[in-house]
Chains A and B, each alone.
Chain A
Amino acid sequence: MTGRGVAVVRPGALTTVQDLGRPGYAHLGVVRSGALDPAAVRLVNRLVGNAEGAAVLETTVDGCAVRARCAVTVAVGGAPCPVRVDGRPAAWGTAVRVAAGSVVEAGTAVRGLRAYVAFGGGIEVEPVLGSRSTDLLSGLGPAPLARGAVLPLGTETPVRVPIDVPPWPGPPDALVLRVRLGPRDDWFTPGALRTLATRAYRVSPASNRIGLRLEGPALERAVPGELASEGMVLGAVQVPPDGRPVVFLADHPTTGGYPVVGVVREADLGAAAQAVPGTAVRFVPVR
């Protein structure tokens, strides 16, 4: 209505619209979705004067580029990457004022995987069940970005409290995941639980928004057979028949039939989403 918006120039490998997700509908089979690194989203939104849960772009590895159709404040955060406005270097992790017609680009991540691009006013695509997030598992929300697509923006509010030092830990060199055992740790041998607590895993390139897949020693089951499908939570460490744990991220299915040996602390999942394939992973059991 206001005509505010951005047009996609380069969508990148996978760029989606994400906010803080659509919790509350798991009983209907609706995935939570939402940004994989919510701390980064809160930060970039604050930088441009948005509410923390406004919709932003989540890129994967190689960033994206958009042309602003109006003057707008932009901030790029999450995975550190070169930022350019009309080809000229601009600051990462801070608010940048961009003129109508300018092309804003987030380049390939220097560290980490997922950069977040916030626009003043937020991306105002039509919400679905209270959220603008793209849900890649069940196809709710806007489609992943495609060249030429136009995303509407909301009305900007002035930045009231400028932030000098972004309080963001940055992507990890090695990932330490605190895990609380259960609900199905009794489906595994004592040796498997020892393996989980002591051995090193590596992030598999097959990881995606659904789960962080891990390479490393298989976890041996004490109880054979199938588990009747049960509700799944964010951070669940599900163990499929090959014994390699999968840590459920935002687009995880609402129910599943493989046993969950433990659940990773929610506070550790943002780092998990920024861990590049090959990153060393260690599980630390906590109460």
Chain B
Amino acid sequence: MSEDLSGAPSTDVRVRVLRVGERALLVELDGGAEAEAFHAEVLRRRAAGVLPAVREVVPAARTVLLDGVTDPDRLAAELPGWEVGPLSARVERVVEVPVRYDGPDLAEVAACWGVSAEEAVRIHTGTGFRVAFCGFAPGFGYLTGLDERYEVPRRATPRTAVPAGSVALAGPYTGVYPRSSPGGWQLIGTTDVVLWDTGRDPAALLSPGTRVRFTAEDAR
């Protein structure tokens, strides 16, 4: 796949750099796509050995946090001058996640999209996803890729226990619950793939920047 998921003019990313305490910088971007592109640029520079020492690089909805920075003033001055390359130029890992589309909220999501359940599955499996960021629990990724018109609200009442492996939607994101936990996302399916295993290296199947494809398994 070589489509440009950023949808943004890649070399014209505006950054706002905010100081966070003694040793961190919060880089604020105009939107999610820009934040993903900027995060990819940080990782590219880190891999190339041209990024000053940074302990944590934490992407989020439209920011990238750089924590444990040796010389934050210098890096803060340097960041606005960065040329940020397009996302599609990267060769990233693609993970395939087989899903039984048997979630209790699939019909509701399909209705929200104005399509049949079968068509909703086709839309979801036909989309190329990318892990924008992680949070909430170890190994829980916020995946972007679905078109804007497919955004769905969170459930009005969160569930007290969402089973591990649940594939779920909220806002613009798709996520997979690494373990059973309370949650308010709309559940559309289930996977047997292990998202988080500290006995494995890497422990997280989905880390920021990972490309993801969901495939439909027969519901049993």
* A-B CB pair tally, cutoff 8 Å: 101
How far does the alpha carbon of A21 sit from the alpha carbon of B61 in the complex, in Å?
Answer: 26
Comparing A101-109, A216-224, A226-234, the segment that makes contact with chain B is A226-234
Tell me if A140 counts as interface (CB < 8 A to partner B).
yes
Fill in one digit per residue for A248-269: 1 if any B CB lies within 8 Å of its CB, else 0.
0000011100001011111000
Shortest distance from the beta carbon of B220 to any chain A beta carbon, whole Å: 30
A26 lies within 8 A of chain B by Cβ: yes
A231-B203 in contact (CB<8A) = no
Separation of A255 and B68 alpha carbons in the complex (Å): 16
Min CB–CB distance A172 → chain B (angstroms): 20
Chain B residues lying within 8 Å of A233, measured Cβ to Cβ, are 20-21, 24, 65, 67
Q: Known contacts A233-B67, A255-B58: does B19 contact A27 (CB below 8 Å)?
A: no
A182 to B138 Cα, complex, angstroms = 27
Interface of A is mostly: loop
| Closest A residue to B20 using CB positions | A183
Do A183 and B61 touch across chains, with their CB atoms under 8 A apart? no
Q: Is A206 engaged at the interface, CB distance under 8 Å to the other chain?
A: no
> What band does the interface of chain A fall in when counting residues whose beta carbon is under 8 Å from B?
20 to 34
Residue of B nearest to A128 (CB): B198
Is A214's beta carbon under 8 Å from chain B? no
Do A228 and B58 contact each other (CB < 8 Å), given the known contacts A27-B133, A29-B139? no
A104 to chain B: closest CB distance in Å? 31
Find A129's partner among B22, B58, B203 (CB 8 Å cutoff). Answer: B203
Query: Residue B22 contacts which of A128, A230, A260, A263 (CB distance < 8 angstroms)?
Result: A263
- B166 within 8 Å of A by Cβ? no
Q: Out of B21, B57, B60, B138, name the residue touching A140 (CB < 8 Å).
A: B138
Residues of A within 8 A of B33 (CB): none
Which residues in chain A, 194-234, are within 8 Å of chain B measured between CB atoms?
Answer: 228-233
| CA A262 to CA B20, docked complex, whole Å | 7
Q: What is the CA–CA distance of A243 and B203 in the complex, to the nearest angstrom? A: 37
Q: Indicate whether A140 sits within 8 Å of B137 (C-beta atoms), given known contacts A23-B55, A180-B19, A183-B20.
A: no
Distance between Cα atoms of A265 and B137 in the complex (Å): 26
Distance in angstroms from A32 CB to nearest chain B CB is 9
A264 to B21 alpha-carbon distance, docked (Å)? 7
Residue of A23, A228, A229, A254 with most partner-chain B CB within 10 A = A254
- A222 CA / B203 CA spacing, docked (Å): 41
